Structure 1
């Protein structure tokens, strides 16, 4: 099929240009201002100088700058709606995979929109400068206002921003989890509560003694066995927990192993791993942790020891 014979949909399919592809890079600022905006103005308006259409330079330049100004407002509103959606999803999060996926998608969309808004802001300001250069007049949008926030910031606006920033800091402080991560995993058929409680008590005491820090528990949110008992221990001791739920629809059978990778991510800097019995997933977690130089404690199931004897 020749390229010039391809219809729009075939071209999109051929080159993979779908709206879901948010991984393409945003051009750098100098490209946005020089290679895109200034060259666009010159290409459109340059040939109109000293011609009978020179009187059209002013309205055309104003139109170009206004298009970008309006687009910035539209995307800015979508960014605000996405921020509100993230807040609502975070408040209503029920720990399900569906809720987790929706929250992650909204966060990804928010980050991408923020990059776009920043790029459009740069282009909009460059277009306004081009208009002023071409006409000698200050650019005033046909609707709305020219969002040069720094130029318009009054004392009241500054105080309002300071208040919001203080609120954000206080909220973040309340939500911040202090301490070091301790990863727990194990067999789903584990039933001995006392062994898990006593083991985690000893590990906690040892870490507080050697590092003078409290722990917080990381696990995959298992509803049965070792992880469920460990979660009960954390609640009983007032220890915060971080749950890494497997995303089955996204990763299929590899979901628990993906959770292992997430818990062992360097940004969490886990202090150790405790395995209470376990299966292939727990074995994988222990091997990966040791490969990273993380201490792994393996605790055998007393019930199975008795059965073997």
Structure 2
């Protein structure tokens, strides 16, 4: 065992000790601590009495695996790959939860159709009860995966410094900031049945370049806006790096949890980007935060200004110096 690996094992052991002193959060207690009496593991199987995993053990391992991945690769030539690997681990929970949600919707529809055409025969009653238990079992599984995904995502943000967001689809569990893709968001505004995807608060638009390092200046401004608009919904232009990622990290901080809409660019080219700017205006934002970037940000600035939307604009030169960049340049000259 190498010295570096030995240090990694000891640090991870300390992390497990820390978890052992914790108590599970209410979200894990609610989902894992109070399971249904019976469950159906998969369609066609008989109802069974099975325990759920221990709430604290699930919470500790969901966070521990993410932390261990970073710890394992730290100070090695594979260190740069740690965020991608950990991202995939968190995404596996999101992916399976999505499959369960679709199965739950299908079962609920089947259950509704059976209830609308009642048949008092014993076969009908037995099938109805089994279908209801199966739907409840899938819902319980989905809730468990969502809670695990949220906690693993929080650990990813804490260790990497960047917010976790799914590559596709929406993240709308109760515990996390609601991250809703633009297409879902626009559909939700038209369909009352999908009300949980519809952020109700006043819209604050945020846009910035993919290269931006000053977190403090943006956090301070967003804190200031939230103090004035406590029920705000933050709509970003959805880039996974730079200013938009910083805004997403602010929205997902413990104690903040501001609903976040990632208004990503579907397609490529300037026309698509300008169309998105127009759609952002249609949301009738109450304020906007813009960081100096490309002509897309300049176009959005002009459009918002014409509509009379209050704008908080930052130039690249407003940032504090990037200490990491300066160190890298110094090493290059050495």
Q: TM-score, length-normalised on structure 1? A: 0.42
Q: Which has the higher helix share?
A: 1
Q: Normalized against structure 2, the TM-score is what?
A: 0.39
Greater RCO (CA < 8 Å, at least 6 residues apart): 1
Q: Which has the larger radius of gyration?
A: 1
